[in-house]
Structure 1
């Protein structure tokens, strides 16, 4: 899956399939596209737990971290 990574304020990052970032949590704006990459279950990527990220994208449409710690549920409520 191609995942687009966005940087928010401080050490907040969001991961989404939506290249425009329109589904990212408003409370962490502004978002800036950082990079895009292919994520495959079971394959390591620096700075993110791939399976956890893909699970969140399937469940919430987005995966959000603060200093590499998952905050998806707090960010999306």
Structure 2
């Protein structure tokens, strides 16, 4: 799956399938597009728990971390 990475304030990062980042929670804005990449279940990527990330995208539409630690409160506002 092609995913898009966005940087928020501080060490907040988000991953989403929405290339505009329009579905990312406003509470962590502003969001800046960082890069796009391919993620495949079961394949490792440095600094990313791929399966956890893809699970969150499927469930919430995005995956958010703070200093590489998953933010479990996925509420959008």
Shift of 1:75: 4.0
Normalising by structure 2, we get a TM-score of 0.94
Q: Partners in 1 of 2:66 and 2:74 — Cα distance?
A: 10
The 2-side partners of 1:63 and 1:12 are apart by 11
| Equivalent residue number for residue 73 of structure 2 | 74
* Structure 2 counterpart of 1:28: 28
Give the unaligned 5+ runs of structure 1: none
Number of aligned residue pairs: 76
**Which sections of structure 2, spanning at least 5 residues, go unmatched?**
none
* Aligned counterpart, 1:60: 60
* Structure 1 outlier segments of 4+, above 6 Å: none
Equivalent residues of 2:60, 2:74 under 8 A apart: no
Residue in structure 1 matched with residue 51 of structure 2 by the alignment: 51
Aligned partner of residue 34 in structure 1, secondary structure: strand
Q: Which has the higher helix share?
A: 1
Question: Whole-Å Cα distance in 1 between the matches of residues 59 and 10 of structure 2?
Answer: 25
